[in-house]
Copies of this chain bind each other. A is one copy, B any other.
Amino acid sequence: MTSPFIPSSYPDLSPISGVTLAAANCGIRYKDRPDLLVAQFCDGTTVAGVFTTSLTASAPVEACRQSLKSGKAGALVVNSGNSNAFTGKHGVASVLRITEAAATSFGRKPTEIFTASTGVIGEKLPDEKITSALGTLSFSDNAWSDAARAIMTTDTYPKMATRSATIGGKIVTINGIAKGSGMIAPDMATMLAFVFTDAAIAHPQLQSMLAAANEKTFNCISVDGDTSTSDTLLLFATGKAGNAAGDCNDFQRALTELLHELALHVVRDGEGAEKFVTITVTGAEHARAARTIGMSIANSPLVKTALAASDANWGRIVMAVGKAGQKADRDALAIKIGGVSVARNGEADPAYKESMIAAHMQGREIHIEVDVGIGSGSATIYTCDLTHRYIDINGSYRT
């Protein structure tokens, strides 16, 4: 069953000079669909990365963290179907064999090869299927749709976005693909996102721009509150646009927009999602407090099940604000749903009647606004409801 939010059409991604792509089926878990993505980059490509904060991070994540120190990238190798997480010394050896084989195939150093794996945790990765496929791939500059499909697990549609920006008078292009249908859903869901640009941007600046954009986008979504062992976001910059180093504000804007678009796709394709929910928190002590409160609302099973039932049970929003552990003035708390004030000054709004938001609650897109009455910190969080389908998907995933 596909997401009710499946797009009617997909964006057309142009080639990025300096990037070639190949997608193939190497038979790790899936049949009849690609499960291996390889991207090759031209000499001089810089790279930035953001990874899971999990203390049980996968072997590929640990290897990427090491390789990122040089700031240089030669190729990216991604498989779906097996996450190579919690696989001990076997997992580390698998990553080593893949990076060495790819380095030999593509004439690069092993530290310039980045890998990511997504799928079941705790099973040994059959890395020989990947290494023996490396020599058989045919690369092109326009295989974006196949690339987006190759990294899918429980995703019901491929996720792609594209933007352009201007740096020092030159137009640069940014393409991105992502997977994940729980921002987090170990086993399968890891969130992976790979972004490619022809801009010339040195590693340290690329890293700080990616971290800033990630903070406002992927770090503001949640499907189920679970954190993957494999979450990986990588940005590759080939430099082929030939721009001089310059003001990168427009690139930062475009990058943030692109990650925002990909992040919202991950929520819209959230496991079992029937509603897309936007939660805006204002009046918090600071932005981080606002994000914590928003996440507390987004991850509350009681809020999520009420949303699934189209029930305007705003008392549960009050509960979730209260348990977030951040400063909130109960007697100044105000809540709007679908733009209608349901509570203010710490009690139900006298003018509010449930009929005023009944149609909104029945809809696909729900807007919740919460002001906690303390300061000027704000954040917007995106999530989905908790439905029977989530239970079915996650109860039956391995069988």
Contact = CB atoms under 8 A, between A and B. Distances in A.
Interface of A: 52-57, 83, 85-91, 120-124, 182-187, 224-229, 299-302, 305-306, 308-309, 311, 313-316, 318-328, 330-331, 333, 343, 345-348, 386-388, 390-391, 394-399
A187 B312 CA distance: 12
A72 to B, nearest CB: 28
**A301, A388, A390, A395: most-surrounded residue (chain B CB, <10 A):** A301
A26 to B, nearest CB: 22
B56 A319 contact: yes
Contact of A320 (B226, B331, B397): B226
A168 to B, nearest CB: 41
A333 B314 CA distance: 41
A300 B226 contact: yes
Contacts of A228: 319
What 5 pairs between A and B have smallest CB-CB spacing?
A: A121-B315, A309-B395, A88-B347, A56-B322, A54-B322
A191 to B, nearest CB: 13
A120 to B, nearest CB: 6
A316 B186 contact: yes
A387 B301 CA distance: 12
A322 B55 contact: yes
Contacts of A320: 226
Which DSSP category, helix, strand, loop or mixed, fits chain A's interface? loop
A345 B90 CA distance: 12
A90 B346 CA distance: 10
A54 B308 contact: no
Contacts of A322: 52, 54-57, 227, 229
Contact of A187 (B87, B302, B395, B398): B302
A186 B311 CA distance: 14
A85 B318 contact: yes
Contacts of A87: 347-348
Contact of A318 (B86, B319, B321, B387): B86
Contact of A123 (B305, B333, B348): B348
Given A319-B229, A320-B226, A394-B301, A56 B185 contact: no
Contact of A88 (B182, B319, B327, B346): B346
Given A86-B347, A348-B123, A395-B311, A318 B56 contact: yes
21 contacts: A53-B325, A54-B319, A55-B330, A56-B333, A86-B343, A87-B347, A88-B346, A88-B347, A121-B316, A121-B319, A184-B319, A185-B302, A186-B315, A187-B313, A187-B315, A224-B301, A225-B299, A226-B301, A229-B322, A301-B301, A309-B391
A186 B302 contact: yes
A67 to B, nearest CB: 19
Nearest to A386: B391
B226 A391 contact: no
A121 B303 CA distance: 13
A54 B226 contact: no
A313 B397 contact: yes
B121 A318 contact: yes
A316 B56 CA distance: 11
Contacts of A316: 121, 186-187, 226
Given A302-B185, A305-B391, A387-B391, A122 B55 contact: no
Contacts of A395: 305-306, 308-309, 311
A227 B316 CA distance: 10
A397 B395 CA distance: 24
A325 B386 CA distance: 25
Nearest to A300: B226
A52 B322 CA distance: 10
